[in-house]
Amino acid sequence: MLDWYRTTVDLVGAIAWPSTVGVLLAILLFKFRDEISTLLQRDIQAETPFGKVAFNQQQSEPLQQQAETEEAPATTTATTTAATPVDAEPPWRQLYSFEFSYRTIYGTQLALLRHLNVVPRASADDLDWFYQQHLTLAQAQFPNWSVPRSDYLQFLVNHWLVTVTDGQYAISPHGVEFLVYLTRQKIADNMKLF
């Protein structure tokens, strides 16, 4: 009887850890299926001591071309042709840039970006309403809040969302892609703080 019990315990112990790993692996694969699919579509090359190995030699379609073929938000009407440093980046880095920008952008800056998507160019004075709105909303919660207007606008420039030419602000191609990304991900603008 003791042998039968010990055999059962050993069998359960031998099956338990692979089952747990399998379930965890299945959960991770399901949760990150879109990211894994994107990675598998990329060209992968490796050099081994035995020679070069290449997988999936198909050319993947750039994010910009995908955005043009898929439905864009209604406000995506005006674009500029100025190149941004992000244009040459791989898609994963662009997605990281979008997420980082969204996590750090103010709601009024997002509204300003949507405005620039419709209006081709605007001066800093033309965009002052968004800055004043930002100050009003922020100071309602934090009375001593102050952000210089130049810093407020420079954030958008530093994140490659807008370009400045002769004192005129315009949405960059990266900024348009950022808005398309927010729309595709169904990320609401009203979730942002002032």
Rounded Cα distance, 127 and 3, in Å: 81
Which pLDDT score, from 0 to 100, does residue 82 have? 43
Which of 33-37, 92-96, 161-165 shows the highest mean pLDDT? 161-165
Global pTM exceeds 0.85: no
**Beta strand extents in the chain (DSSP E only):** 44-48, 51-55, 122-123, 162-165, 168-171
Which pLDDT score, from 0 to 100, does residue 55 have? 61
Delimit the domains of the chain by residue range: 2-55, 63-191
pLDDT tens for 121-156 read 999 899 999 999 888 888 888 888 888 888 999 999
Architecture of domain 63-191: Orthogonal Bundle (1.10)
Which pLDDT score, from 0 to 100, does residue 179 have? 92
pLDDT at 189 over 80: no
